[in-house]
RNA sequence: GGGCGCAUAGCUCAGUUGGUUCAGAGCACUUGGUUUACACCCAAGGGGUCGGGGGUUCGAAUCCCUCUGCGCCCA
């Protein structure tokens, strides 16, 4: 036999992945079978595989491979996302490194660079997923900027616009001064920062008196247009309606009253800068205040900044506070911790900014999506995410869908004039010309008179269509594929994009197809390191995904990742888990190696213990299979794995193989061999979703298989009934054997030394198991007796008592001590049970069944006490 | 500031409707074994006041209240 004792994952994995691909096992085309569809959460096109990807793609692969075995037409659609802001930022940086400024390029030139970048790095991540074993239908690979995908996005934009759901508004938006674009609320990360609270004084017009206000942003006084106090604040009642003078600027502004002001905070007087604060803007609107925007788009000051014009906001903050101090306007400066919005992508501090943006009305759209989750038509797993989802969806704000970027779908709005509403929305320039002519009654309008909107759409405005658009369900809503594959089954993703993406897909599903996009949303946890830190590049605590695959093999890594990955819980990733996974794969390999190595002697009959072992494992397998089905139905994937792991490690390898294993270098009988191979095959079917490579390797090594017999496209184990008597008997047998091992250890009897076993068989355990016990315990004979044996080590299994006669002197005192302890424990337990039973209220109110159990416990314990006492007497 | 969640063995976590097998699993640990399936092995063993306090109940890890400590989301 030439099989290596250590399993070599490298060559095997490549071999079988190629085999699956060559034979189109992952390719799906609609047929008469039921479909089982998963769409991948498209990773950033230029990204590389990290731990999070490995985790959620492994889960998807487990689900899809199992569906394939179960006979569904399994279809897992892969693809990538153009990730507008992230990708654009990378391209801008690369150009900068080459000395090229993005602003010197035309749109077309910049996009050419972006496509070059995409062509160079795009799709690397998909190749990495193949190494992990992902069984995606690669022929369906999509990219959110593919022509048809973009056409879908544009069509949806136009349809929603025509429905009146998309509008253009002058709103306060989150402005990233570094990327020079707006961000959606979800892309802003709030961080605690140490800053200062500046107390400033504003002189009352025509008086020597001052009003003092507190602000964290002194530079914004340049845009102040009012001072606001609470109407109930008696300190300021007399000031309302008067005029104060803004320091440095010398602008005259009114003192107004509004209940928004928090009387407790600062001085109770608030300066109002409508251009630079969301709440100030609202107050400004209520009181018809002037709006003065003091910033340029890169957050340097504009002409309203006076002598600070051209300087950065943070520089100005320092300088102006100095000037205010020098000129006597600064009363005091306190340390102050406050939350600051930062850009998820560039880390720049977000500047609230008023600008013209495109919005999608969300409140009506959200309703069916809320209902779907409420009624579990779309089920969130684990369900704890539901309340978060409702909270967000019920307070949803209109979605700012425009971005001041180039890398993405350009908004199909065309301006024909300078007025805010002088635009039409159209699929093409020609159509826009026609529409504009109609709108303006000006038939002389030419294409060159129109100017297309420069903004592109938010990336999520393409990915929210993903489950529909990958099947071309937007452009051809009744095509065969969309009708066959949609709705999809499972979506596996992280909770961090529950709102960005998941919620919006549900919205899109109902709005565009009147149907949920998927049945289940499996939310994985974040992958953290052992110290609970998030994995990040800057910490350098993220293991290189490809190195892991290299070192532990894809199967090992998959097992390692899923061992402790209950849905929704963060997983503390520890490389030791991959080691455990690798060890498990090796275990399966060696189990196979053992079986493969047996020589058959056709003349041999099947020994009784082998028949018993096979019968037991068959029942055990079926029992565990139904547990596994139950776990799967609840999407408890790590429980499925752990249950399967124990079945194979303990039951199959630890017990069955040891039972049927012939003596060293002896042949095996043909019946046992055939049966154990069939059981091994079932094990391989069961494990295939988790460890596709090793199972295929073993499967194909058991015998020569035709292409259509490959495990990858084989069937899930059918299962069957399990014989309860066999299972119960065997449990007892296992305890008996375990007892022998304990005694051997305590008495230091080496396993190679045979022993005798005598049993008082109160449980009436069938004596047909004696040969099995003999084999597993290296027992020379099992004798049923009726009296305690003196000079023997003893142990009890339920009411049965076992004796192992000891040669030579035995330590009577130690044995007595052991029995004493056992007796004490039993008596204590008995007292508890009897106390319960003597409690009339317990007997009266507990269900009959529960009382019966307690009574049985009492009887069993009494019997046990009796045997222990008898043993002690025999020893003395 | 608003919302959601968590706390069980050294670590990571199960524990579903309050009641059998309720105090469990895996890893780690300790001890012992190793005439070839596998030291990536086998066996046995120790280890927890179920975060603290109070309540409901015949009975609470489980339900309720409260305190403490953490985490996440949103503003």
The predicted structure's pLDDT at residue A588? 95
Q: CA(A844)–C1'(B63) in Å?
A: 22
The answer to whether the C-beta of A654 is closer than 7 A to strand B is: yes
**Cα dihedral A778→A781→A782→A788 (10° resolution):** -110
pLDDT class of A568 with cuts at 50, 70, 90: low
pLDDT class of A526 with cuts at 50, 70, 90: confident
Q: CA(A314)–C1'(B13) in Å?
A: 47
The answer to whether the C-beta of A813 is closer than 7 A to strand B is: no
pLDDT class of A1 with cuts at 50, 70, 90: very low
User: Which residues, 6 or more positions from A805, have their beta carbon under 8 angstroms from its beta carbon?
Assistant: A755, A756, A758, A789, A791, A792
User: Which residues, 6 or more positions from A377, have their beta carbon under 8 angstroms from its beta carbon?
Assistant: A371, A516, A519
pLDDT class of A683 with cuts at 50, 70, 90: very high
B75 nearest neighbour residue (CA to C1'): A190
Copy the structure tokens of residue A820. Answer: 């004493």
Give the closest nucleotide to A850 (alpha carbon vs C1'). B19
Sheet strand arrangement including A488-493: A73-77, A35-39, A488-493, A518-523, A379-381
pLDDT at A534 over 70: no
Task: State which of A147-161, A336-350, A436-450, A800-814 shows the largest mean pLDDT.
Answer: A147-161
Copy the structure tokens of residue A524. Answer: 């994985």
pLDDT at A503 over 90: yes
Task: State which of A166-175, A611-620, A747-756 shows the largest mean pLDDT.
Answer: A611-620
Q: CA(A284)–C1'(B5) in Å?
A: 38
The predicted structure's pLDDT at residue A703? 93
Q: CA(A241)–C1'(B45) in Å?
A: 84
Q: CA(A678)–C1'(B52) in Å?
A: 55
| Averaged pLDDT, A549-560 | 93
The answer to whether the C-beta of A835 is closer than 7 A to strand B is: no
Name the DSSP letter for residue A498: I
Give the closest nucleotide to A341 (alpha carbon vs C1'). B75
pLDDT at A817 over 80: no
Q: CA(A636)–C1'(B16) in Å?
A: 12
**Cα dihedral A428→A430→A436→A439 (10° resolution):** -100
pLDDT at A566 over 80: no
The answer to whether the C-beta of A845 is closer than 7 A to strand B is: yes
- Which pLDDT tens digit goes with each residue over A73-90? 999 999 999 988 888 888
Copy the structure tokens of residue A50. Answer: 């990290």
Give the closest nucleotide to A572 (alpha carbon vs C1'). B12
φ and ψ at A297, to 5 degrees?
-70, -15
Q: CA(A704)–C1'(B3) in Å?
A: 60
Rounded Cα gap, residues A855 and A851, in angstroms: 6
pLDDT class of A687 with cuts at 50, 70, 90: very high
Q: CA(A576)–C1'(B26) in Å?
A: 12
The answer to whether the C-beta of A775 is closer than 7 A to strand B is: no
The answer to whether the C-beta of A7 is closer than 7 A to strand B is: yes
What are the extents of the domains in chain A? Answer: 181-352, 546-703, 723-803, 811-876
- Which pLDDT tens digit goes with each residue over A353-399? 888 889 999 989 999 999 999 888 999 888 888 888 888 888 888 89
pLDDT at A793 over 80: yes
Rounded Cα gap, residues A301 and A315, in angstroms: 10
The answer to whether the C-beta of A582 is closer than 7 A to strand B is: yes
Strand B proximity: list residues 392-431 of A with CB under 7 Å.
392, 395
pLDDT at A305 over 90: no
Q: CA(A867)–C1'(B65) in Å?
A: 48
Rounded Cα gap, residues A470 and A40, in angstroms: 10
**Mean pLDDT computed over every residue of chain A:** 88
Give the closest nucleotide to A7 (alpha carbon vs C1'). B40
Between A183 and A636, the higher pLDDT residue: A636
The helix or strand, by DSSP H or E, that contains position A54, with its residue range, turns out to be helix A51-69
pLDDT at A187 over 80: no
Q: How many helices (H) and strands (E) does chain A have?
A: 27, 29
The answer to whether the C-beta of A437 is closer than 7 A to strand B is: no
Between A337 and A409, the higher pLDDT residue: A409
pLDDT class of A51 with cuts at 50, 70, 90: confident
Strand B proximity: list residues 53-92 of A with CB under 7 Å.
none
| Averaged pLDDT, A761-765 | 87
Fold of the domain spanning A181-352? Isoleucyl-tRNA Synthetase; domain 2 (3.90.740)
Give the closest nucleotide to A186 (alpha carbon vs C1'). B74
Question: Which of A58-67, A427-436, A834-843 has the least mean pLDDT?
Answer: A834-843
Q: CA(A488)–C1'(B5) in Å?
A: 29
B4 nearest neighbour residue (CA to C1'): A388
Give the closest nucleotide to A187 (alpha carbon vs C1'). B74
Q: CA(A73)–C1'(B28) in Å?
A: 43
The predicted structure's pLDDT at residue A530? 63
Strand B proximity: list residues 363-392 of A with CB under 7 Å.
384, 387-388, 391-392
Q: CA(A344)–C1'(B64) in Å?
A: 42
Q: Is the ipTM of this complex over 0.90?
A: yes
pLDDT at A604 over 80: yes
Give the closest nucleotide to A594 (alpha carbon vs C1'). B37
Q: CA(A665)–C1'(B35) in Å?
A: 11
CATH of domain A723-803: 3.30.2320
Fold of the domain spanning A811-876? Helix Hairpins (1.10.287)
Q: CA(A655)–C1'(B41) in Å?
A: 14
Q: CA(A527)–C1'(B32) in Å?
A: 38
Question: Which of A388-392, A508-512, A533-537, A778-782 has the least mean pLDDT?
Answer: A533-537
Note if the bond before A382 is cis, omega within 30 degrees: yes
The share of chain A scoring above pLDDT 90, in percent, equals: 47
Copy the structure tokens of residue A105. Answer: 């390029």
Name the DSSP letter for residue A631: H
Rounded Cα gap, residues A763 and A767, in angstroms: 11
Give the closest nucleotide to A587 (alpha carbon vs C1'). B38
- Which pLDDT tens digit goes with each residue over A832-862? 788 778 777 888 777 777 788 788 778 878 8
Strand B proximity: list residues 278-337 of A with CB under 7 Å.
278
What's the helix, strand, coil split of chain A in %, to 5?
A: 50, 20, 35
Are A331 and A199 in contact, with CB atoms under 8 Å apart?
yes
List bases, strand B, within 7 Å of protein CB.
Answer: 2-6, 11-14, 16, 19-21, 25-28, 31-45, 57-59, 72-75
Q: CA(A654)–C1'(B42) in Å?
A: 9
Q: Do domains A546-703 and A723-803 have the same CATH topology?
A: no
The answer to whether the C-beta of A858 is closer than 7 A to strand B is: no
Question: Which of A182-191, A215-224, A722-731 has the least mean pLDDT?
Answer: A182-191
pLDDT at A724 over 60: yes
Q: CA(A683)–C1'(B28) in Å?
A: 28
CATH of A546-703, one of 1.10.8.420, 2.30.110.10, 1.10.730.10, 3.40.50.1780: 1.10.730.10
Buried b (16+ CB within 10 A) or exposed e, A408-432: bbbbbbbbbbeeeeebbbbeeeeeb
Rounded Cα gap, residues A163 and A155, in angstroms: 12
φ and ψ at A453, to 5 degrees?
-50, 135
Q: CA(A642)–C1'(B26) in Å?
A: 8
Q: CA(A768)–C1'(B29) in Å?
A: 39
Strand B proximity: list residues 180-209 of A with CB under 7 Å.
185-186, 188-190
Give the closest nucleotide to A847 (alpha carbon vs C1'). B19
Strand B proximity: list residues 595-634 of A with CB under 7 Å.
597, 634
Q: CA(A841)–C1'(B57) in Å?
A: 11
Q: CA(A765)–C1'(B25) in Å?
A: 29
Sheet strand arrangement including A413-415: A423-425, A413-415, A451-452
pLDDT at A751 over 90: no
Strand B proximity: list residues 698-757 of A with CB under 7 Å.
738, 741-742, 745, 748, 750-752
The predicted structure's pLDDT at residue A138? 97
């Amino acid at each position: 036999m030439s099989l290596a004792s250590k399993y070599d994952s490298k060559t095997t994995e490549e071999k079988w992945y190629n085999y699956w691909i060559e034979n189109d096992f992952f390719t799906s085309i609609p047929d008469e079978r039921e479909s089982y569809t998963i769409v991948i959460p498209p990773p950033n096109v230029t990204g590389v595989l990290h731990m999070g990807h490995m985790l959620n793609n492994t889960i998807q692969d487990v689900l899809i491979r199992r569906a394939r075995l179960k006979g569904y037409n399994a279809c897992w659609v892969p693809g990538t996302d153009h990730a507008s802001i992230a990708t654009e930022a990378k391209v801008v940086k690369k150009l900068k490194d080459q000395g090229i400024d993005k602003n010197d390029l035309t749109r077309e030139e910049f996009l050419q660079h972006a496509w070059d970048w995409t062509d160079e790095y795009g799709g690397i991540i998909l190749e990495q997923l193949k190494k992990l074993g992902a069984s995606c239908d690669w022929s369906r690979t999509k990219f959110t900027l593919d022509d048809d995908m973009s056409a879908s996005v544009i069509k949806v934009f136009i349809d929603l616009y025509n429905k009146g759901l998309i509008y253009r508004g002058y709103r306060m938006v989150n402005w990233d001064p570094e990327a020079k674009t707006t961000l959606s609320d979800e892309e802003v990360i709030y961080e605690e920062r140490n800053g200062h609270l500046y107390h400033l004084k504003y002189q009352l017009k025509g008086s020597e008196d001052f009003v003092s206000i507190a602000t964290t942003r002194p530079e914004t006084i340049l845009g102040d247009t009012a001072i606001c106090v609470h109407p109930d604040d008696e300190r300021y009642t007399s000031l309302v309606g008067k005029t104060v003078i803004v320091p440095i600027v010398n602008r005259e502004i009114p003192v107004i009253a509004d209940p928004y002001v928090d009387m407790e905070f600062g001085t109770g007087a608030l300066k109002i800068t409508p251009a630079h604060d969301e709440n100030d803007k609202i107050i400004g609107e209520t009181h018809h205040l002037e709006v003065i925007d003091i910033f340029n788009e890169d957050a340097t000051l504009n002409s309203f900044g006076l002598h600070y014009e051209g300087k950065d906001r943070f520089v100005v903050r320092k300088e102006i506070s100095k000037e205010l101090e020098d000129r006597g306007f600064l009363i005091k400066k306190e340390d102050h911790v406050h939350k600051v919005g930062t850009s998820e992508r560039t880390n720049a501090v977000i500047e609230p900014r008023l600008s013209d943006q495109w919005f999608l009305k969300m409140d009506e759209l959200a309703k069916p999506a809320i209902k779907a989750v409420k009624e579990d038509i779309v089920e969130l797993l684990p369900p704890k995410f539901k309340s978060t989802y409702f909270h967000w969806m019920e307070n949803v704000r209109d979605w700012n869908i425009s971005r001041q970027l180039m890398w993405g779908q350009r908004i199909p709005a065309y301006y024909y004039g300078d007025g805010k509403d002088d635009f039409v929305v159209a699929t093409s320039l020609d159509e826009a010309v026609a529409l504009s002519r109609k709108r303006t009654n000006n038939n002389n309008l030419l294409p060159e008179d129109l100017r297309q909107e420069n903004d592109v759409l938010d990336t999520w405005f393409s990915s929210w269509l993903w489950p529909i658009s990958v099947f071309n369900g937007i452009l051809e809503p009744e095509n065969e594929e969309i009708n066959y594959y949609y709705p999809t089954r499972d979506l596996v993703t992280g909770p961090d994009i529950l709102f960005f993406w998941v919620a919006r897909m549900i919205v899109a599903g109902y709005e565009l197809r009147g149907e949920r996009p998927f049945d289940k949303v499996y939310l994985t946890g974040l992958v953290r390191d052992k110290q609970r830190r998030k994995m990040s590049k800057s910490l350098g605590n993220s293991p290189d995904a490809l190195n892991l695959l290299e070192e532990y093999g894809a199967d090992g890594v998959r097992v390692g990742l899923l061992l402790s990955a209950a849905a929704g819980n963060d997983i503390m990733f520890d490389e030791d888990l991959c080691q455990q996974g690798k060890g498990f794969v090796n275990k399966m390999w060696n189990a196979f190696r053992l079986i493969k190595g047996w020589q058959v002697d056709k003349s041999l009959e099947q020994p009784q213990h082998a028949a018993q072992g096979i019968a037991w494992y068959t029942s055990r397998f079926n029992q565990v299979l139904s547990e596994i089905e139950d776990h799967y139905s609840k999407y408890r994937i790590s429980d499925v794995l752990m249950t399967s792991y124990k079945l194979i490690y303990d039951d199959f390898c630890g017990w069955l193989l040891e039972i049927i294993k012939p003596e060293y270098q002896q042949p095996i009988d043909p019946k046992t061999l055939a049966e154990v191979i069939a059981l091994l095959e079932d094990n391989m079917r069961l494990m295939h979703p988790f460890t596709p490579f090793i199972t295929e390797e073993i499967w194909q090594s058991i015998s020569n298989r035709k292409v259509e017999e490959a495990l990858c496209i084989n069937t899930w184990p059918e299962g069957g009934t399990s014989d309860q008597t066999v299972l119960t008997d065997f449990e007892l047998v296992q305890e008996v054997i375990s007892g022998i091992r304990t005694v051997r250890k305590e008495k230091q009897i080496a396993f190679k030394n045979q022993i005798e076993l005598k049993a008082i068989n109160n449980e009436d355990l069938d004596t047909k198991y004696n040969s099995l016990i003999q084999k597993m315990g290296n027992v020379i004979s099992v004798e049923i007796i009726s009296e305690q044996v003196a000079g023997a080590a003893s142990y009890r299994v339920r009411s049965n008592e076992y004796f192992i006669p000891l040669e030579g002197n035995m330590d009577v005192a130690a044995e007595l001590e052991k029995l004493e302890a056992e007796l004490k424990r039993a008596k204590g337990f008995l007292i508890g049970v009897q106390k319960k039973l003597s409690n009339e209220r317990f007997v009266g109110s507990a269900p009959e069944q529960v009382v019966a159990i307690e009574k049985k416990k009492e009887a069993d314990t009494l019997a046990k006490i009796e045997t222990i006492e008898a043993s002690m007497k025999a020893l003395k």
